[in-house]
Structure 1
Amino acid sequence: MKAHQSTFFDGGQRLQMTESIDLTIQSLQAYLPDHPDIAFAWSGGKDSTATLTVVLWLVETGKVQRPRSITVFLADTRQELTPLWHAAMLIIDELRERGIRVEIVMAPMDKRFMVYILGRGVPPPNNNTLRWCTRQIKIDPMQDAIEARLADFEGNVLMITGVRQGESAIRDARIEMSCGKDGAECGQGWYQQVLPNAKGLRGRIATLAPLLHWRVCHVWEWLKHWAPLPEYGDWSTSAIADAYGGDEAEEINARTGCIGCPLAQEDTALNTILKVDRWQYLEPLRGIRPLWRELREPQHRLKKAGLERLQDGSIAKNPQRMGPLTFEARLMGLDRILAIQSDINASARSLARPEISLINVEEEARIRELIALETWPQGWDGDEPTADTVMETVYQNGAVQPLLFSAEESS
């Protein structure tokens, strides 16, 4: 019987750290020659930070070809957990000391998370019908920044991302179907010649995930032990482990998300961080998720009272759907967020810890201005009843289910 020839990807033989780095080198050697200008889509998280620092170390040590230009784009959602953002700022200083261009990308004022909710009155996002946040505060601003920067480049640009197998089952399924797209070979990373859903970027940009094959333990090994050493770049990446929960980050398979993420079932990332002594003064942040849940309640929102025709002439599927936040709810939410911010920053100053910025001065002013201007989301004029108002049920076909008892009779 012919003996089975094992590979790096067999269940019985797992990649070692040096082998992972070798495959990353092969990936970069395969594609850098065709893309003299490279850019990084950096989130500040563990995978994208490992990708950024590994690739730059390989460039600096001559293990791969030095690109003509390097640009790093960091998405500032204004919702990053404080330890993670603090670590990112340290790394930005080190990037700029190396002469690498860093652009911090942010959504326009009226589309920022807090302004959109508390100023424009759009309800907090949810996983069912209103998941607007990731695209609006992260993806769109990043793509706009890249598109603006493309005018400075000759030819195509290689966008390097921190996508890695194992982080998401849905993402892995997508990778599994497309890892060989556009001529990529196994072991050369996830290479695509176009950036999906990228508006004006098609034909000008390709993406490569050179750490696609890295195990999560290798990511932590690099961040905590290799990258901080002078021979591997002297990066301040050990602070990333602190942002994910300190020494236990790897063991708990830690992941982070936005502060008080309304889409998460539990505030796992924040709970993990608060176990670290240095960050326990951030405890008041626990109050944000309950606020978002409260603002979804009917008494804080308007609702449509009957049949509604949309701009295309069709009838809305949910004639009495709940909608935007009332002005009173927005001001209540603003006061709660500002109180949380004030409490934390008072502790931060007394403990000599980093302060936070949930809502800065300009954002607060814009929120109050939008409320004063009586701003409502498109399709709403403010004359609608609050969503806790008892009324006859209207169906999409126009049928009406009358109330069994009027408010006067029930009283």
Structure 2
Amino acid sequence: MSSHQPTLFGGSKRLVYDEAIELTLQSMQAYGPGHDHWVFAFSGGKDSTATLTVIMHLIDVGRLAAPRSITVLYADTRMELPPLSISAALLLDRLRVRGVRCDVVMAPLDKRFLVYMLGRGVPPPNNNTFRWCTRQIKVDPMTEALQQRIDELDGTILMITGVRQGESAIRDGRIEMSCGKDGAECGQGWYQQVLPEAKGIRGRIATLAPLLHWRVCNVFDWLKVYAPMAEYGGWETRAVVDAYGGDEAQEINARTGCNGCPLASRDLGLETVIRVPVWSHLSPLLRLKPLYRELRLPRHRLKKTGLVRPVVGSEWNEEAGEDLPVFGEPEIATAKNKQRMGPLTFEARLMALDRVLAIQAECNEAAIRLGCPTIDLLNAEEEARIRELIAAKTWPNGWEGDEPTADTPMDTVYADGSVQPIFL
């Protein structure tokens, strides 16, 4: 970049007068007053953190009028990188002190990632046919929490997100189709008058992405330099920067994800974190991904025998709190389903539980020694629930637990029902 080229923060000490901030301010001034309540969708990542702290700063310095109420909904998947979860907790505590409603949104206990996998026995997700995690631990809980908050409020709601152009090709495609909706220009933020996922709220809620036009360098300049300064709020955002590579965050431009994400080919987010010296003690977390990969092996899972019980209907189950399938008499499986691998064995679940707890203990012993914050991959309630579900011999729907392990040699069953015996 040439020395004469203008930057977001160059040429003016007061950030609120710079172009990118002015566009964000114009966006909020254009759409904010039309809504009684503002609700922030907060993930703890760089973009949502920048969005939340910038707008709170604009309110604090008198450039932006506050609405009747502000709510922050923090999506806690229980799988976030530690610097992000720690920074999010500090930020929420700060906001609560000043009277902002902050709700931590988590999946119900039995549907959290490790409880669902190790307690119920559901295998780790994959990118092909079994990607169950994102909707279950993030999307559904946030949608439900938003609906609940809307039901509590009278008047109109503005849902504020940290979406930016350039975050991903897929997301940008959606922005290009939508950024002109309702008369909005890209520079004013991506404004939509209806949130599609929520039900029964047409006309009451809109979404706005007031940092849509920010570049990644703008985000990191705010989080690293300006947000921590007293005149801009004194926000504790350094840990967020660390999650993206610390002082080299802008150059690395890393994407974060869950600890040991089973869907990613490499644990790039965690690898980036542990290269920052203050977080290097978290290196044992790198053993999570190999563990999840190991759990997909045949010896740790059950397998269908070639007979399946077809679903003939469903009925409400009071204990489960949901509709569960009703099965008919066993019949030959289809070619797609015959002898498919299924849930984790009890032995595999206990093995994985012990290893996760050992990884957590190793990280925390080092953290205490170094005076760093501790982590909890599994808290006491979650560990107890996993052990309770295992003791109750819990299996996913459609499995009885008497099926053989997937590494057991078996006859081949074809789609027409014919069987080719295995010769031992």
1:35 aligned residue = 35
1:400 aligned residue = 418
2:311 aligned residue = 310
> What does residue range 330-409 of structure 1 map to in structure 2 within 5 Å?
330-395=349-414, 397-400=415-418, 402-403=420-421, 405-407=422-424
Counterpart secondary structure, 2:70: strand
**How has the CA–CA distance of structure 1 residues 14 and 193 changed in structure 2, closer, same or farther, with 3 Å as cutoff?**
farther
1:214 aligns with 2:229: no
Shift of 1:200: 4.9
1:232 aligned residue = 232
**How has the CA–CA distance of structure 1 residues 153 and 23 changed in structure 2, closer, same or farther, with 3 Å as cutoff?**
same
| 1:203-224 superposed Cα distances (whole Å, 9 cap, x missing partner) | 4321111111100000001111
Does the aligned pair in 1 maintain the 2:40–2:159 contact within 8 Å? yes
Counterpart secondary structure, 2:72: strand
1:191 aligned residue = 191
Shift of 1:370: 0.4
Shift of 1:185: 3.0
Does the aligned pair in 2 maintain the 1:392–1:400 contact within 8 Å? no
Counterpart secondary structure, 1:255: coil
Shift of 1:199: 4.1
1: CA distance, partners of 2:272 / 2:114? 24
2:86 aligned residue = 86
Counterpart secondary structure, 2:74: strand
Does the aligned pair in 1 maintain the 2:302–2:341 contact within 8 Å? yes
| 1:262-300 superposed Cα distances (whole Å, 9 cap, x missing partner) | 111111111111112111111111110000000001111
TM normalised by structure 1 equals: 0.91
Moved more, 92-101 or 206-215: 92-101
2: CA distance, partners of 1:228 / 1:281? 25
1:6 aligned residue = none
1:152 aligned residue = 152
How many residues align structurally? 393
Unaligned runs of 5+ residues in structure 2 are: 10-17, 314-327
1: CA distance, partners of 2:22 / 2:393? 59
TM normalised by structure 2 equals: 0.88
1:161 aligned residue = 161
1:51 aligns with 2:51: yes
2: CA distance, partners of 1:400 / 1:222? 66
Moved more, 116-125 or 253-262: 253-262
**What is the aligned-residue RMSD (CA, Å)?**
1.9
2:319 aligned residue = none
1: CA distance, partners of 2:171 / 2:236? 29
1:5 aligned residue = none
1:71 aligns with 2:89: no
1:320 aligns with 2:321: no
| 1:140-182 superposed Cα distances (whole Å, 9 cap, x missing partner) | 1111112111122112211100011111111111111111223
What is the aligned-residue identity percentage? Answer: 65
**How has the CA–CA distance of structure 1 residues 311 and 63 changed in structure 2, closer, same or farther, with 3 Å as cutoff?**
farther
> What does residue range 80-119 of structure 1 map to in structure 2 within 5 Å?
80-119=80-119
Counterpart secondary structure, 1:187: helix
2: CA distance, partners of 1:192 / 1:394? 52
1: CA distance, partners of 2:395 / 2:166? 41
1: CA distance, partners of 2:200 / 2:296? 36
Counterpart secondary structure, 1:38: strand
Does the aligned pair in 1 maintain the 2:259–2:270 contact within 8 Å? yes
Counterpart secondary structure, 1:324: strand
2: CA distance, partners of 1:200 / 1:126? 33
2: CA distance, partners of 1:278 / 1:226? 21
1:4 aligned residue = none
1: CA distance, partners of 2:367 / 2:227? 29
| 1:218-275 superposed Cα distances (whole Å, 9 cap, x missing partner) | 0001111111122212211223112222101111012211111111111111111111
Counterpart secondary structure, 1:302: strand
Unaligned runs of 5+ residues in structure 1 are: 1-12
Counterpart secondary structure, 2:185: coil
1: CA distance, partners of 2:72 / 2:24? 19
Does the aligned pair in 2 maintain the 1:40–1:52 contact within 8 Å? yes
| 1:60-98 superposed Cα distances (whole Å, 9 cap, x missing partner) | 222223211101111111111111111112212221232
| 1:368-394 superposed Cα distances (whole Å, 9 cap, x missing partner) | 110111111111111222111222233
1: CA distance, partners of 2:125 / 2:407? 20
Does the aligned pair in 1 maintain the 2:262–2:292 contact within 8 Å? yes
Shift of 1:307: 4.2
| 1:318-360 superposed Cα distances (whole Å, 9 cap, x missing partner) | 2222111011110111011011111111112222111110111
Aligned partner of 1:398: which letter? D
Aligned partner of 1:299: which letter? R
Aligned partner of 1:188: which letter? Q
1:265 aligned residue = 265
2: CA distance, partners of 1:86 / 1:50? 16
Moved more, 224-233 or 103-112: 224-233
Counterpart secondary structure, 1:250: helix
Shift of 1:401: 5.1
Aligned partner of 1:113: which letter? F
2: CA distance, partners of 1:264 / 1:129? 15
**How has the CA–CA distance of structure 1 residues 181 and 14 changed in structure 2, closer, same or farther, with 3 Å as cutoff?**
farther
| 1:25-46 superposed Cα distances (whole Å, 9 cap, x missing partner) | 1211111121120010100000
